[in-house]
Amino acid sequence: MRVTVKLYALLGQYLPSGATDNQIEIEVAEGATVQEVFARFNVPPKSCHLVLVNGMYVEPSRRPQYALQNNDTLAAWPPIAGG
Amino acid sequence: MAWARNVLRVNLTKGTCKNEPLNMEWAHKYLGQRGLATKYLVEETDPKVDPLSPNNKMIMATGPLTGTCASTAGRYSVVTKGALTGAIACSNSGGFFGNEMKNAGYDMIIFEGKAKSPVYLYIENEKAELLDAGAFWGKSVWDTEEGIKAKHQDPLIRVASIGVAGEKGVKYAAVVNDMDRAAGRSGVGTVMGSKNLKAVAIRGTLGVPVRDFKRFMKVTADAKKVLADNAVTGQGLPKFGTQVLMNVINEVGALPTRNHRDIQFEGAKNISAEAMAEPRKGDGKPNLVTNAACFGCTIGCGRVSTVERSHYTVVDRPQYQVASGGLEYEAAWALGAATGVDDLNALTFANFICNEQGFDPISFGATVGAAMELFETGVITTKETGGIELKFGSAKALTDLAELTGKGEGFGAEIGLGSKRLCEKYGKPELSMSVKGQEFPAYDSRGIQGMGLTYATSNRGACHLRSYTVSSEILGVPVKTDPHVTEGKAELVKAFQDATSVVDSSGLCVFTTFGWTLEDIAPQIDAACEGGWTVEKLLEVGERVWNLERKYNLAAGFSKKDDTLPARILKDAAKTGPAKGMVNGLKDMLPKYYEVRGWTSEGVPTNQTLERLGV
């Protein structure tokens, strides 16, 4: 299945070449979890402060089990703020 | 100590400048800056006064920590009755002006009356005089600041001034200091212009004594380490600035787009922090040149940017081919998503103009968005706009209107009315996305429920800086809450409102609270000032300030009916994203909010509440 991965701010450094606008579409196995996708890009789990799937927050404790669906969008940020 | 214990009272009608002692009883109850200046305004003016009347007063106020070595301790506020809103106005600015004012020996400068002809106030260490500003009237903020420094042959003078927008009565004119830092909201610069006061120029070298020097050095150093070690204040904000929120808020479906008709912007990625850091296709240079810090700040969230020299806005215009104040998130949203424009060069240029001529980019961009909707629905045509094709997404329309509004010319004079007056003029009041006459900032409260209550109850009209629940609802600071529920938001909003009132009264920047709690702030105030400043005492000050502001607004004529949101936010469901199908649940939050505030069901503080707080 295909998912879109978006890594922003300092996490952008973990995106492979070929990514544009801080995002890349990838093929993953059925049932791939949020944590597995981060591992594929060598993103340290502790660096992922804000993690959204289709815009909805996924808390840290759910990330190892949270199975992605086909066409899901996974987005992550390190600790950030603004105003 | 820490307070200078000195107020400068400037009577512009009589042309006098007199020093007087600070009311220390009030200082112990209202701390400083926002709280203390509000107390003075409440005691000295009629809440029903016309904001542009000579009887309105304008107060520039520092906090007790302003000018000390605490991190970010360079803030000052401008407090008055707002020209845009008719409500209490308190606009806070950084840069270096506040520090200079405090080091010149003043906690506060109270301006009253109206000068017969344009003047500026010049201060050098407790000596103040009003000087003729005829040579600067009609000049921009940038030219005025440079001109005053040149006239006095002193490049170290710090200047706060109005541009042509403030002179021409643009309702959301700002007071701009240090070229690109602004007390931006609610029309405090409009009030300044109405008084024929062009600028305040200060040179101050007196120093700011603190109560317990050794302890102050220790606690401020400890607190700086907290900010440095925090991933947000130590890394995220310096590197990406507030603009890092653009993609976040778009992703969560709370980015107001095209006058709040949509809730996600397809062009967000082109105007984000990440886009500002990318080399441009044309010249290979990024928009962002470097970050910048205000006085004493160890965070450094400010942006310094350029417009690409081949861009239509700056060709053959060398004054704009410079590195200057870049886009913060709020400005980028208002100039961009609110108008549907995703040309980063155009947004940066429009932001330059807002700084140069002194007007609020939030209210300006949001008003252009409202005008674009009036245009696209046929309510106004090129006849009214002076030939401007005012379509959503038009960068040219945006930048043309920025220049016209800054000078109060053509259709820019109508954009300068703000969205409420503009939409009322054309018979479509429902298209103004505002509360109490002030335009929303960059969060759609259909996707972040607590922000609806924040906007509806903000004492200065729609504002994110009165209770930034985005911090909890989206960013998880200090704890993560669900942005889509209304339960618990009344208590959350009150807690943010009270704590923010404290920070705004201290001389510190509210951005420290991404790393600090009041547990970090209280020891710094206590080491600097006598009075036994604990977290509990500070929270009481915060609640007192909030209730005093509310009392002022009620006396000015506002009531429960003004604690509301536009019908679009309450009735038109979000079309896309995680909040699809949602409206803001204000009706579920407001009664509870009044209850936790200790107010009646009509939103009036009870006698018991006022007595408890000593208001």
CATH number at A53 reads 3.10.20.30
In a domain, A6, yes or no: yes
- H helices within B442-564, ranges in order? 449-457, 470-473, 489-504, 518-528, 535-556
Residues of A with CB under 8 A from a CB of B: 6, 8-10, 12, 21-22, 49-50, 52, 54-57, 59, 73, 75, 77-83
pLDDT in tens, B180-206: 999 999 999 999 999 999 999 999 999
pLDDT value of position B482: 97
B53 touches chain A (CB under 8 A): no
> Do A50 and B248 lie within an 8 Å CB cutoff?
yes
Helix (H, G, I), strand (E, B) or coil at B381: coil
Q: Which of B257, B253, B255 shows the shortest CA–CA distance to B243? A: B255
Q: How far apart are CA B398 and CA B26, in angstroms?
A: 45
pLDDT band for A18, please (50, 70, 90 cuts): confident
Average of per-residue pLDDT across B250-266: 98
Q: How far apart are CA A2 and CA B207, in angstroms?
A: 62
Q: Is residue B63's pLDDT more than 90? A: yes
Contact in structure between B99 and B67 (CB atoms under 8 Å): yes
Nearest to A83 among B235, B242, B269 (CB): B242
> Do A57 and B480 lie within an 8 Å CB cutoff?
yes
Classify the phi-psi angles of B294: left when phi > 0, otherwise alpha if psi is within -120 to 50, otherwise beta.
beta
Q: Report the half-sphere exposure of B398 (CA within 13 A, side-chain side).
A: 35
> Do B330 and A49 lie within an 8 Å CB cutoff?
no
Total Cβ atoms within 10 A of residue B532 = 8
In a domain, A72, yes or no: yes
User: For residue A6, which phi and psi values (nearest 5 degrees)?
Assistant: -120, 125
> Which residues of chain B are in CATH 3.60.9.10 domains?
6-203
In a domain, A50, yes or no: yes
Helix (H, G, I), strand (E, B) or coil at B148: helix
In a domain, A70, yes or no: yes
Instruction: Give, in words, the CATH class of B444-613.
Output: mainly alpha
Contacts of B581 in chain A (CB under 8 A): none
Nearest to B236 among A6, A73, A79 (CB): A79
B307: Cβ–Cβ under 8 A, 6 or more apart, which residues?
A: B313, B314, B320, B321, B345, B348, B349, B352
pLDDT value of position B19: 97
Q: Is residue B98's pLDDT more than 90? A: yes
Q: How far apart are CA B20 and CA B7, in angstroms?
A: 5
Contact in structure between B461 and B82 (CB atoms under 8 Å): yes
Q: Which of B357, B447, B383, B385 shows the shortest CA–CA distance to B172? A: B357
What is the distance of C-alpha B89 from the center of its chain?
10
pLDDT in tens, B278-326: 999 999 999 999 999 999 999 999 999 999 999 999 999 999 999 999 9
Q: If you search the block for the tokens 């606009």, which residue do you land on? A: B91
Helix (H, G, I), strand (E, B) or coil at B187: coil
Beta bridge partners of B172: none
Total Cβ atoms within 10 A of residue B179 = 17
Give the pairing of strands B438-439 and B434-435.
Answer: antiparallel
Q: How far apart are CA B373 and CA B258, in angstroms?
A: 8
> Which residues of chain B are in CATH 1.10.569.10 domains?
241-438
DSSP output for B80-125: EE-TTTSSEEEEEE-SSHHHHHHHTT-SEEEEES--SS-EEEEEET
Total Cβ atoms within 10 A of residue B290 = 11
DSSP output for B530-544: SS---HHHHHHHHHH
Q: How far apart are CA B238 and CA B511, in angstroms?
A: 12
In a domain, A83, yes or no: no
Q: How far apart are CA B42 and CA A25, in angstroms?
A: 58
Task: Give the burial class of B580: count Cβ atoms within 10 A of its Cβ; 0-12 exposed, 13-18 middle, 19 or more buried.
Answer: middle
pLDDT in tens, B137-160: 999 999 999 999 999 999 999 999
Beta bridge partners of B90: B79
Q: Among A9-23, B133-147, B551-565, where is mean pLDDT lowest?
A: A9-23
Contact in structure between A22 and A15 (CB atoms under 8 Å): yes
pLDDT in tens, B11-31: 999 999 999 999 999 999 999
> Do B240 and A9 lie within an 8 Å CB cutoff?
yes
Q: Is residue B1's pLDDT more than 90? A: no
Fold classified for B241-438: 1.10.569
Average of per-residue pLDDT across B27-53: 98
Q: What domain range is A32 assigned to?
A: 2-77
Cis peptide before B478 (omega within 30 of 0): yes
Q: Is residue B578's pLDDT more than 90? A: yes
Contact in structure between B186 and B461 (CB atoms under 8 Å): yes
Contacts of A83 in chain B (CB under 8 A): 242, 245, 329-330, 464-465, 468, 470-471, 510-511
List the single best residue of B475, B484, B510, B580 to mutate versus A (max A Cβ within 10 A).
B475
State the total domains in chain A: 1
Maximum alpha-carbon separation in chain A:
39
Average of per-residue pLDDT across B322-341: 98
pLDDT in tens, B245-254: 999 999 999 9
pLDDT value of position B191: 98
pLDDT in tens, B231-246: 999 999 999 999 999 9
B61: Cβ–Cβ under 8 A, 6 or more apart, which residues?
A: B32, B33, B34, B36, B37, B76, B77, B78, B79, B107, B108, B109
pLDDT in tens, B403-430: 999 999 999 999 999 999 999 999 999 9
Question: What letter does residue B301 receive in the DSSP assignment?
Answer: -
Maximum alpha-carbon separation in chain B:
67
Instruction: Give, in words, the CATH class of B6-203.
Output: alpha beta
Could you give the C-alpha distances from B592 to B486, B552, B595, in angstroms and in order? Answer: 10, 22, 5
Q: Which of B425, B422, B437, B359 shows the shortest CA–CA distance to B86? A: B437
pLDDT value of position A42: 97
B232 touches chain A (CB under 8 A): yes
pLDDT value of position B338: 98
DSSP output for A1-41: -EEEEEE-GGGGGGSPTT-BTTEEEEE--TT-BHHHHHHHT
Please, what is the average pLDDT of chain B?
98
> Do B274 and A9 lie within an 8 Å CB cutoff?
yes
In a domain, A31, yes or no: yes
pLDDT value of position A83: 83
pLDDT value of position B40: 98
Q: How far apart are CA B475 and CA B498, in angstroms?
A: 20
* pLDDT cut 70: percent of chain B above it: 100
Nearest to B252 among A49, A55, A83 (CB): A55
Total Cβ atoms within 10 A of residue B536 = 10
> Do B253 and A55 lie within an 8 Å CB cutoff?
yes
